[in-house]
A and B are shown apart, each in its own frame.
Chain A
Amino acid sequence: MIELALTITYAAVGVSLLLNLVRLARGPDPTDRILALDTMVINAIALIMLLGIAQHTTLLFEAAMLFAMVGFVTTVAFCRFLLRGDVIE
């Protein structure tokens, strides 16, 4: 059962990563590209969890946690740059 679920979610995450790439490539706004990158990070978190489930290990989950915790900081920094130019002011 879990094998089947994994296969389906793998495919879903793969497709969404490719769609993110399309958005990243096409833009047209910098905001679109930043959001595409941010969504990729979220997909990456999902991917790591799936990998951990598939390999029966919790060793990878810290990486997922770290992505979840600090990944958004990059997005905030990009956005602040667009809004104010200065990231730390």
Chain B
Amino acid sequence: MSLALVVLLPFIGAILPPLMIRSGRTVCATVTGSVTLSSLVLLLIHAPAVYRGEVPVVAYEWLPSLGLRFSFFADGFGLFFAALILAIGLLIIIYARFYLGRDDPMGRFYCYLLLFQGAMLGIVLSDNVLLLLIFWELTSLSSFLLIGYWRHLPEGRQGARMALAVTGGGGLAMLAGMLLLGQITGSYELTEILGQGELVRASPLYLPALLLILLGAFTKSAQFPFHFWLPHAMAAPTPVSAYLHSATMVKAGIFLLGRLWPVLAGTEAWFLIVGGTGLVTMVIAAWIALFKDDLKALLAFSTVSHLGLVTMLWGFATPFAAVAAVFHILNHATFKCALFMTAGIVDHEVHSRDARRLGGLLHLMPITGTLALVASASMAGLPPLNGFLSKEMMLEAAGHARPPAYPWLVPGLATFGALLSVAYSARYAVHVFLGPVRDDYPQHPHDPPAGMWLPVAVLVALVVLIGLFPAAIAGPIVAGASDAILGGALPDYKLALWHGITPALLMSAVATAGGLVLLALFWPVRAVRDAMPRPEAKRIFDAIVLGAANAARRASYGLHNGQLQRYVMFFVVSVLVLILVGWQTGRLDAGTREPLAAGYLAGIAWLLLLAGCIGIVAYHRQRFLALILTSLVGLIVSLAFLYLSAPDLALTQISVEVVTTILMLLALNFLPKETVAESSVARRLRDGALALGSGAAFAAIVHDVLTRDFTSISAYHLEQSKPGGGGTNVVNVILVDFRGYDTYGEIIVLGIAGLAIFALLDGALRGPAARRLARWAPDQPRAADLHPLIPVVATRVMLPLALMVGVYIFLRGHNLPGGGFISALVVAIALLMQYMASGFGWAEQRIRFDYHVLIGWGVLIAGLTGLGAWLFGLPFLTSGFDYFHFPVVGEVELATAAIFDLGVFLTVVGAVMVALANLSRIARRAEPIPVPQEPMDYTAPVPEPATTAEGR
């Protein structure tokens, strides 16, 4: 459990900084630091067990059907990384407290930082690879937030987007690779996968899996050719760069390479791709770094170069190289993080990060200068610092990697990379801190407060101490981590400063001398380099993104240009094509069932339906007439449902027809009464042919299906309705029980739709639309009688009757046609009658409940009914029913499904009434109407202006 807590603590703690910032910045930083510290302590509790060779595991089932488990484990390698993340995180938190300005929202910063920390810990401690991927994407997301932290800077936003696009895309590729890996090994648990290296490497899926996983790892660790995003991510505040882009996130890629090293390494493909990419990245990035004037860009590319170095070491796939890789990860984290922090200090104190404007800072900020010099000496690989040790091991490993065809290629390029590394490290030291003091700094430099240089000092002390006493300080950590990767077969190696005169020492000497010479010739070399054309990665990336966006836009605007007819056309054509293909392939054929005889009344009804449809097509421009004809179609459809034994559908259809007609009439009042003819004759012919064709095709397949015998699931539902759902009306049982979850989703959607109508209209009733409404004048002559007496009386008599029918339909719904939905429509119509007859204002004054609240209650009741099943240990929305004996009434069946149905009822009433009441509010805006006050008062006829006072 405590292992899972190591990962979860930062996530839980992430809510603290935004709250604690009210108590001041120091309190906020202290709280953040204590979260990290607790996590670190929890982690270190496991350390003794891990170094004894045990592997603590903790696992909970999450989605077992997908193989996703909430499982963590800690071996030496994971522990090493987790400790690195937390320890450096702690230093960064202290540093950031003093780095961030007064105007920067510090609570948000620490919140993002903790989220990132948790995600990163998740990567290194996950046992389940799918869980690992989730954390992998979480690091991409949280780093997006951190890089774009200064959201007022366009570079920050662009850099954040680029980082997210590249690393997120790589993460997707890796997901595919991990799934393949899971397919090969039959498990998604790393502890099981790691033991099956032979099986994986022999699998035909090995190469695709390898390529996909490498794509993920290389994008994350900014390996060539994906190295371009890292420098742009440097727009982030320096603590972020120091943390994410030197010590942790970019190391996620090489962590994963190391994690899967026992499984994937050892093939020729691995050596060529991983080793080759690492080597190329190391050299190219070092070359670019040398010529960057921006200190953070220089450090960014040097980071890329060092990551390339580690990747190359993994690529060699020898045990010795693996140990060197682990050791270098540790060393690089210490000196590079320190260097980033010093660059941040320079930026903070001098207000410039441009190497051309700096120099001589050692005299003005001696503490920072000294620390920076030591750290850059370590980056250059000078003895007696830790960078020297791991560089020696790297050169030693490179010296042994000699493909037969080009024996000198790898050692030569590795030495050249080391040479460039010396050159840019020296440049960072010489061009910034050494040399004469200048008098044109943007701001006079001096050492920062201790809080900023102390974390650097801690790291630099480690740099020196590891360099002097490697075996004592780093030995156990490196051994533990390497042991976990190599599976207990540690090679013969010695962490020490002096190994005697070895080839590696000679290569190192060559590199150091060459690097210093290169720096001496810096300006001439730079002139040559500037004269050469070179690709601009950001421009290429932007072009690709733009191209993809344009292609997507063309595709989507081609399909979705906002014209409804076009969507319908695409839809109809594709259905038609599907049907035609079905016929072509011969799977559709008329069956042998005898058709049932239809009476002549059915024929008449069919004739009416046909006439209605043809009429609508012919007169669709006259909108009022089209509405009448639509009602005719609805009437016949309702009759057809009854005739074909679907009374539930018929009841629903009848009431829906009424509500929709009112809705359309409300809208039509403010719309043109005639549609303008827009389409050409050719187009109408085309659309007509399409409509007839698809109609005929549909009729044909319906005929094909109806004339054959088929078994459907309805028999099962009919059988289970009473014993399973406690009701004999299978339609209602399906709605509230069998498919209750669907219904629950649907009423939520309905509620949202109702509220959205309210929100849209409410917005529309302000601004330009409101001004247009104020100018609106009725476009047809109007009767003077606002609320005629007969409907007023009739509807008031009807109200209790209609409500009674609603209750009746609701109650019997479970066993006979009816239910919450239909009864809700009936009740809504009963209420609408009052609105129509007596006026909106009159009804509004008397109907006291708020329809919005009604929607909320409906969803709440339905949801709580579903949750109620949990009390009995049953799944969500399991319904229960029993028979109760009441005096006088007798035995009565009570089902929880009825309560659920009540939720449906309330939501539907609420949504319908919200929609209609709001539509009619438009008219209230256009023209205020006097509200009758007395209960039985009807509005006396109001004289209209002479032009429109023409009764009908």
Contacts and interface: CB of A to CB of B under 8 A. Distances in A.
Interface of A: 10, 13-14, 17-18, 21, 24-25, 30-31, 33-34, 37, 40-41, 44, 47-48, 51, 59-60, 62-63, 65-67, 69-71, 73-74, 76-78, 80-89
A87 B259 CA distance: 71
B662 interface: yes
Interface stretch (B456-464, B711-719, B767-775, B835-843): B835-843
B214 to A, nearest CB: 66
Contacts of B829: 70, 73
Interface string B614-635: 0100000000110111011001
B702 interface: no
Contact of A66 (B608, B826, B916, B923): B826
Interface in B808-829: 809, 816-818, 826, 829
B826 A83 contact: no
Given A25-B611, A59-B647, A62-B817, A84 B782 contact: yes
Contacts of A24: 628-629, 632
A2 B651 CA distance: 27
A87 B647 contact: no
Given A48-B642, A78-B665, A83-B782, A14 B647 contact: no
A85 B780 CA distance: 7
B582 interface: no
A85 B782 contact: yes
Nearest to A17: B604
A30 B781 CA distance: 14
16 contacts: A10-B601, A30-B625, A37-B628, A60-B647, A62-B651, A63-B638, A67-B638, A69-B801, A73-B832, A74-B662, A80-B665, A83-B782, A83-B783, A86-B920, A88-B662, A88-B923
B920 to A, nearest CB: 4
Contacts of A66: 651, 654-655, 805, 826
Contacts of A13: 601
Nearest to A54: B599
A14 B627 CA distance: 24
Given A47-B601, A63-B638, A85-B780, A69 B608 contact: no
Contacts of A83: 782-783, 785, 952
B840 A88 contact: yes
Contacts of A21: 607-608, 611
A77 B654 contact: no
Given A63-B642, A88-B836, A14 B600 contact: yes
A51 B635 CA distance: 16
A51 B642 contact: yes
Most buried by A among B654, B657, B833: B654
A63 B654 contact: yes
Nearest to A72: B794
Contacts of A87: 662, 665-666, 669, 836, 920
B696 interface: no
Contacts of B837: 76
B537 interface: no
B929 A89 contact: yes
B760 to A, nearest CB: 18
Interface string B775-797: 00011101101100001000000
A30 B600 CA distance: 29
Tell me if B's interface is mostly helix, strand, loop or mixed: helix
A10 B840 CA distance: 42
A62 B628 contact: no
A77 B604 contact: no
Interface residues of B, number: 66
Most buried by B among A31, A41, A77, A87: A87
Nearest to A24: B632
A60 B832 CA distance: 25
A38 to B, nearest CB: 10
Contacts of A33: 625, 628
Q: Which 8 A-B pairs have the closest CB atoms?
A: A88-B920, A83-B783, A86-B923, A88-B835, A87-B665, A81-B665, A14-B604, A63-B650
A85 B778 CA distance: 8
B662 A73 contact: yes
A67 B655 CA distance: 8
B815 to A, nearest CB: 12
Contact of B786 (A76, A77, A89): A89
A38 B696 CA distance: 32
B639 A44 contact: yes
A12 B270 CA distance: 88
Given A88-B836, A89-B923, A37 B611 contact: no
B798 interface: yes
Contacts of A44: 635, 638-639
B699 interface: no
A65 B607 CA distance: 25
A47 to B, nearest CB: 7
B615 A25 contact: yes
B818 A62 contact: yes
B577 interface: no
A31 B628 CA distance: 11
Contacts of B916: 88
Contacts of A18: 604, 607
Contacts of A69: 798, 801-802, 805, 826
Contacts of A86: 666, 669, 920, 923
A44 B607 CA distance: 14
Nearest to B924: A89
A70 B654 contact: yes
Contact of A70 (B600, B642, B655, B817): B655
A65 B818 CA distance: 13
Given A59-B816, A70-B658, A84 B639 contact: no
B668 interface: yes
A77 to B, nearest CB: 5
B675 interface: no
Contacts of A41: 635
B643 A74 contact: no
Contacts of A74: 631, 657-658, 661-662
A84 B783 contact: yes
Nearest to A48: B642
Most buried by A among B635, B802, B924: B635
B584 to A, nearest CB: 40
Nearest to A34: B628
Given A21-B608, A63-B650, A81-B665, 7 more contacts: A21-B607, A44-B635, A60-B642, A76-B836, A77-B662, A78-B627, A78-B665
Contacts of A70: 654-655, 658, 802, 826, 829
Contacts of B833: 73, 76
Contact of B952 (A10, A14, A40, A82): A82
Contacts of B791: 76
Nearest to B951: A83
Nearest to B790: A76
A62 B809 contact: yes
A81 B668 CA distance: 9
Contacts of B924: 89
A72 B262 CA distance: 79
Contacts of B627: 78
Interface in B877-928: 916, 920, 923-924, 927
Contact of B839 (A59, A85, A89): A89
